[in-house]
Structure 1
Amino acid sequence: MFAYLYVFSRIGMSGLVKPYTVVFPPIKSGSVFTFTTDTGIFYEVRFGRKQNDILSATIVFGVTNDEFEGEEYSETNKGEMYKVMSTIVLIVQSYMQEHPNIHTYEFTGEPKKQEDGKKPTVRIKLYTRYIRQVFDKQWGVTTEGNRIIISRKNKA
């Protein structure tokens, strides 16, 4: 039992949960990844380059099923959160491997209706728990309201 708790504390929940099968971009250096959950929820994970700094990327992910009426930040409440986050960790790691010169990543946690977008949202708090599984201590993490910015400490 101790060994299990130690491993869990070191790698977190996504390290214990097998990710979904990822559909990688047709071009190895591509920026759009997809996966489908066991309940048929289709996710898209996109990496966009900032116009004023092409070595900065924005990470956007969400559901694209018609049942959510185009609202990609919908809550699905299908009990698949850990497996979804494990898959997103895998995707971000894969993207980083193909784009080693990126020095800044950024993403937002869209607020729920009752949340104030100026404070860290429930989604941001969830995402924060997974950051160190992707970004080691060479990366600094800053939270600004519902936005997280991860920057390489020593830019290449």
Structure 2
Amino acid sequence: MIEGWRVVAHVGADPLPDDWHAQLVQRLGYRPRRVGTWTELAMHGALRCIDAVGEAALPAGARLRVGSRRGPWAATCTGLEQLDAGLTMPFTFMQSQPALALAEVGRCLGWRGDGSFVLNRDAAQLLRLVVHGAGADGLLLGQVEEAGGALPMRSEWWRLLPA
């Protein structure tokens, strides 16, 4: 796939199951609070990916990258509608910030480290970009989309290690 790297797990290429949220709650042992659907999708996919590898947690030296064509679109639109209506809704605003999802994903993975969000149109191109500079603990890459317009709901993840 990418020279010098091997994919040790890949999940989410198929459509999400209808009960994906119930699966997330069961896996976490609690219902996430004050996070939006986009962040929950990221948490679900990331956990499935490290489970597929058999890792108890993402290693501290691993990079976390989350890509998306639009990020948390629904929360962004809701926040703008509330702004136009003169309302202040800090949780809606927080849910519209894609980089803040990294903290929640990191928490559920037992991880703190180098994480970032990248807007992109092509997951394969993003993969070629994010491997540069990654170390021996590799990286966890997700492509997360909320449903809307022509985009289906998606949480596709790859766990990569140096070859």
Same-fold status (TM-score > 0.5): no
| RCO higher in structure (CA 8 A, sep ≥6) | 2
- TM-score, scaled to structure 2: 0.29
Instruction: Give the number of the structure whose residues are more often helix, by fraction.
Output: 2
